A = this chain, B = another copy of it.
Amino acid sequence: MLLVNGERRKTLPVSDRGLQYGDGLFETIEIENSRPVFFDLHLRRLEAGCLRLGLPFPSPGLLAEEARTLCRESPAQAVLKIIVTAGSGGRGYRRPETIETTRILSLHPYPEYPAAFGTEGIRARLCATRLGINPALAGLKHLNRLEQVLARAEWSDSAIQEGLMLDSGGHLIEGTMTNLFYARNGALYTASLERCGVAGIIRELIMRLAARHRLAVIELSYTPERLASADEAFVCNSIIGIWPVRQFEQIALRPGPITRNMQQWLADYKQETLRSEP
């Protein structure tokens, strides 16, 4: 199920700058009970991303209406992807004077993950492919995702659920599709995303929920060895929520109280927002 600029189409002009240059952004949104979860946060991130890339932000009312249209046809649980591109036009890298964005909304099946990933945790590996350092793009969920594609292509062992990525300076940043946190001595730590990485919605919520519960969260630069002295570690994104990491290369970890609490706080907050939204 697809809507391209509000029309039921499955195709896009080849000239679209999203294809030609990856000139655009996307959001991956959980659908629960046929409703988009944390939709306002996704729209706000998309708006902030458009601002940074110099793209006009499509009307949020229009995006919400189109999302509702798809949700009416959606299974109770699904994934909604929204792509906004710079549209067609412009010769070469130069954008046209007036940008008419393309917006693409698509519904996808909710991936079937074993419940144990959330309770017992997952195995993660260290990827050889690194994240380039570029403050101009850092934090954005843009369409230039070859680094993640190459990192994900490094392994096919289905016993490994995620690959963690370093930046080109050797600092541990995030997973191919997740943000990463670790806990130590009662505080949470996560990579600073000033120079690369994707600023995930769940990452943002975790920081807010931690503040609400007086749990310190420190953003920092760190190398992967740091996980050896962590008490807990977990990865997160909008579709999986929070998965504890029980193994990262040679480092064994176990889900602990901070991860459990955060999972509970996030689940409660999700229900809270779903109840409060019209």
8 Å CB contact of A91 from B11, B111, B143, B176: B111
Q: How many subunits of this chain does the assembly comprise?
A: 2
Is A104 at the interface (CB under 8 A from chain B)?
A: yes
Q: Indicate with 1 or 0, residue by residue over A102-137, a CB within 8 angstroms of chain B CB atoms.
A: 001010100100000000000000000111111111
Cβ of A147 and Cβ of B136 under 8 Å apart? yes
Find chain B residues with CB under 8 A from A20 CB: 26, 83, 143, 145
Nearest B residue to A91 via CB reads B111
Cβ of A2 and Cβ of B23 under 8 Å apart? no
8 Å CB contact of A134 from B12, B108, B132, B142: B132
Find chain B residues with CB under 8 A from A136 CB: 129-130, 147, 150
Find chain B residues with CB under 8 A from A23 CB: 145-146, 149
Most buried by B among A10, A130, A146, A148: A146
Further 16 A-B residue pairs, CB within 8 A, beyond A20-B145, A91-B111, A137-B150: A10-B15, A11-B12, A12-B19, A16-B19, A22-B144, A53-B146, A54-B153, A91-B108, A93-B176, A130-B135, A131-B134, A132-B196, A133-B168, A137-B146, A137-B147, A168-B195
